[in-house]
Amino acid sequence: MVKSMAKKPDLFPGTLDMLILKTLTRSPLHGYGIALSIKRLSDDVLTVEEGSLYPALQRLLLQGWVKAEWKMTETNRRARFYTLTAAGRKQLGIEMSQFEQMIAAIGRVMSDAQEA
């Protein structure tokens, strides 16, 4: 008997930035907190690895969509906390709109495929 191993789905290209920005609308967080929040809110479906998260955060910093400052965590560790900027809020709106259009388009193709 072959046991199938359920693989967690990969993020759609370009959605990591949007998920990070959306996560930061709730409160400033350090990188590990961002990853935990995404995992928790997705009911453990989405896992953001460090190798993807920190380059994305750096990219968002360079774009001016987030800002960062060093603070102490609740466990008394020094960590970089990220905060959404006004430009980041605007970008989040753009990305959410594009994402919704993409999901709607995929939905139309999939519903048409079922009828054919």
Q: Is the CATH code 1.10.10.10 the one for domain 15-115?
A: yes
pLDDT at 112 over 70: yes
Query: What's the average model confidence in pLDDT over 62-66?
Result: 98
pLDDT at 4 over 50: no
Q: Is the pLDDT confidence value at 9 over 80?
A: no
- % of the chain surpassing 70 pLDDT: 89
Residues in the chain: 116
Q: What pLDDT, on a 0 to 100 scale, did the predictor assign at position 8?
A: 65
Q: Is the pLDDT of residue 7 over 90?
A: no
Phi-psi region of 63 (alpha: psi -120 to 50; beta: other; left: phi over 0): alpha
Predicted local distance difference test score (pLDDT) of residue 1: 47
Domain range annotation of the chain: 15-115
C-beta separation of 90 from 63 below 8 A: no
pLDDT band at 27 (very low <50, low <70, confident <90, very high): very high
Instruction: Record the pTM.
Output: 0.85
